[in-house]
Structure 1
Amino acid sequence: MKFRALMQDPLYMKEFQAIVATLTKLAKDCVMILGSRQMHFIVNEDQSSSASPLVWAGIAAKEYFPEYRMESAHPDQEYIVLDMSSANLGRALSVLRGGGVNSCKLKLQRIQFPCISVIASVLTSSSTEAREVVHDVPVTIIPGSDWSAYVLPSVPNSQLALGLPSLRLLKSLIDKLKNISPSLEFQANLDGELNVIATSEMSTVTSRFQKLLIRTVAGYEQEASCSVDSRKASAFFGALQLPHEELTIGIDREHSIHLQIDVRQDVVLHSVLPAVCI
């Protein structure tokens, strides 16, 4: 079983760090699924009792890693699956936020324990030679017999999906609306309109976004709506560390809302907020 990956582009290193930092704010633990061409992260929480939403990220190896090598324990296994503390991984990658990082290697090793070693080559102002900053993040290697508990979530089939050009505006809005109502209703229609509604015993507050780009229409649906837990919606938006503005909101009527941030073409952050009964 082997894994090694190398990052060298400063922008890509910061994006990778921001994705992990987002997961760190949502859950104590995360699962890292390493494939031959793709890497996935999933927050590993009990969704029935947690206030955190279900969130996962898919990263095409070719986007971030000019060098990427994965060999599973057995020829018939397609992945390496690792369970780890998201906080430990986040701290190890925090060095990538600053300047002067020439490269960063990720390497699966067994020292006294299995770990992902994060090895950053950093230039300092006091020296012309780079120094290595190494963090060893303990991991639990999940055997193939237990992989069924770590299956990648599936993207819901949305009846309507709209693109929002301002992630920051919606993030600020939901942070305020969560104090009004325990649930938020999202309504979308074919006019490119999205309504976010918070209802309490005293009032109903409706925030309207208009002239949005329609990304998906399933069948002949004219509109779609779904109510979700306001705490889970706020947790997702509050955790985001990515600078990107564009967000796609897909509504699977009365079942769930799918939130998607395309960091770049083959690097995507997903969240699914399940419907709640009103």
Structure 2
Amino acid sequence: MKFRCKIVDVSCLNHFSRILNTIAKLTKSCTLRLTACKLYFILTDKVANGGVSMWCELNQDNFFDEYQLEGVSAEQNEIFLELIPENVSRALKMAQNAKSVKMKLKNKHCPCLTVAVELPSMSSTNRIVTHDLPVSVIPRRLWNDFSEPSIPNFDVSIYLPTLKIMKNVVERMKNLSNFMVIEANRIGEFNLKIETDLVSVSTHFKDLRNPPWVSDTLPERDSVHMVEARVDIRKLLQFLAGQQVNPTKAICNIVHKRMIHFLLLHEDVSLQYFIPAMA
């Protein structure tokens, strides 16, 4: 079982660092699934117990100049690691001006993901700063626990407003309640609401458009009818505050009173985030 990769291109390195920063802000620990073509960052908290889930997918050839993987077997050419994304994010922070970054799976008393940052130097010899980050290798018998989360049949799908604007709205409303109602319909209307015994506050967005698949997958329903889910405002704000992916498309899918599913799309990365609804 072997894994090693190398990034030379500065723009690819900075983009990869931003993704790691985003993952680190969303979860303290996650699973990294390595395959020949893709990397996956996975969080599988039990939604039924109020936990969030995350699935972030990257095409490796859009980031790495070198990429070598030998999985547990020829038939199962994959590796599953449990790691702390903040550790990787910190190791990459000093790599903004690096000549290259190499990552390799090693066994130093315990399994480690070694990050070697090659920095420019005034002398003929470059400086190399090495970080040995402890990881856990997940055995094959547990791999099924980390399959891609299924997306239930949602009632409304809508493009989100600018995430920065949405974050500012949620931040201003977070002191009023622990919960926020997110609602939308099929004519591009999207609302963020706080409702308590003492106060009711709403922010309305219009003309946001609905993705083209709406008419094909959603059940028949009055287009102006609002579908909603009440979620933990801290989990929503954690998602919004951590975004550095700079998506070209940001979509919210709502399962009425059951779940919010966010989908962020970039040309070389997709991130799914599931927040369960509260009663």
Q: 2:220 and 2:46 mapped to 1: Cα distance?
A: 36
In the alignment, which residue of structure 2 is the partner of 1:40?
40
Query: Once the two structures are superposed, what CA deviation does each residue of 1:203-243 show, in whole Å capped at 9, x if it has no partner?
Result: 21111111113114124342422221112111211222334
In the alignment, which residue of structure 1 is the partner of 2:85?
86
Contact in 2 for aligned 1:156/1:258 (Cα 8 Å)? no
How far is the alpha carbon of 1:26 from its aligned partner?
A: 2.9
Q: 2:142 and 2:148 mapped to 1: Cα distance?
A: 13
Query: Once the two structures are superposed, what CA deviation does each residue of 1:77-114 show, in whole Å capped at 9, x if it has no partner?
Result: 24200012223222222223x3x222222211123321
**Alpha-carbon spacing, 1:265–1:241, altered in 2? closer, same or farther (3 Å):** closer
In the alignment, which residue of structure 2 is the partner of 1:251?
254
Q: How does 1:8-87 map to 2 (within 5 A)?
A: 8-43=8-43, 53-87=52-86
Q: Give the 3-state SS of the residue equivalent to 2:181 in structure 1.
A: strand
How far is the alpha carbon of 1:152 from its aligned partner?
A: 3.1
Divergent runs of 4+, >3 A:
43-50, 126-130, 241-246
Contact in 2 for aligned 1:165/1:245 (Cα 8 Å)? no
RMSD: 2.3
In the alignment, which residue of structure 1 is the partner of 2:184?
188
How far is the alpha carbon of 1:268 from its aligned partner?
A: 1.1
Alignment equivalent of 1:261, drawn from 264, 267, 270: 264
Contact in 1 for aligned 2:3/2:105 (Cα 8 Å)? yes
Q: Give the 3-state SS of the residue equivalent to 1:25 in structure 2.
A: helix
Contact in 1 for aligned 2:81/2:135 (Cα 8 Å)? yes
Relative to its length, the structure with more strand (as a share) is 1
Q: Please, what TM-score do these two structures have when normalized by structure 2?
A: 0.88
In the alignment, which residue of structure 1 is the partner of 2:109?
112
Query: Once the two structures are superposed, what CA deviation does each residue of 1:250-276 show, in whole Å capped at 9, x if it has no partner?
Result: 1122221111222x2231122101111
Equivalent pairs: percent with the same residue? 29
Q: 1:145 and 1:164 mapped to 2: Cα distance?
A: 39
Amino acid at match of 1:227: R
Alignment equivalent of 1:232, drawn from 215, 221, 235: 235
Q: 2:36 and 2:153 mapped to 1: Cα distance?
A: 27
Q: How does 1:89-168 map to 2 (within 5 A)?
A: 89-96=88-95, 98=96, 100-124=97-121, 126-127=122-123, 130-168=126-164
Q: Please, what TM-score do these two structures have when normalized by structure 1?
A: 0.88
Amino acid at match of 1:109: K
Structure 2 segments unaligned to the other structure (5+ residues): none
Amino acid at match of 1:104: V
Q: 1:113 and 1:184 mapped to 2: Cα distance?
A: 43
How far is the alpha carbon of 1:174 from its aligned partner?
A: 1.1
Amino acid at match of 1:259: F
Contact in 1 for aligned 2:46/2:53 (Cα 8 Å)? no
Q: 2:131 and 2:263 mapped to 1: Cα distance?
A: 31
How far is the alpha carbon of 1:245 from its aligned partner?
A: 7.0
**Alpha-carbon spacing, 1:29–1:167, altered in 2? closer, same or farther (3 Å):** same
Contact in 2 for aligned 1:248/1:260 (Cα 8 Å)? yes
Q: Give the 3-state SS of the residue equivalent to 2:94 in structure 1.
A: helix
In the alignment of these two chains, the number of paired residues is 272
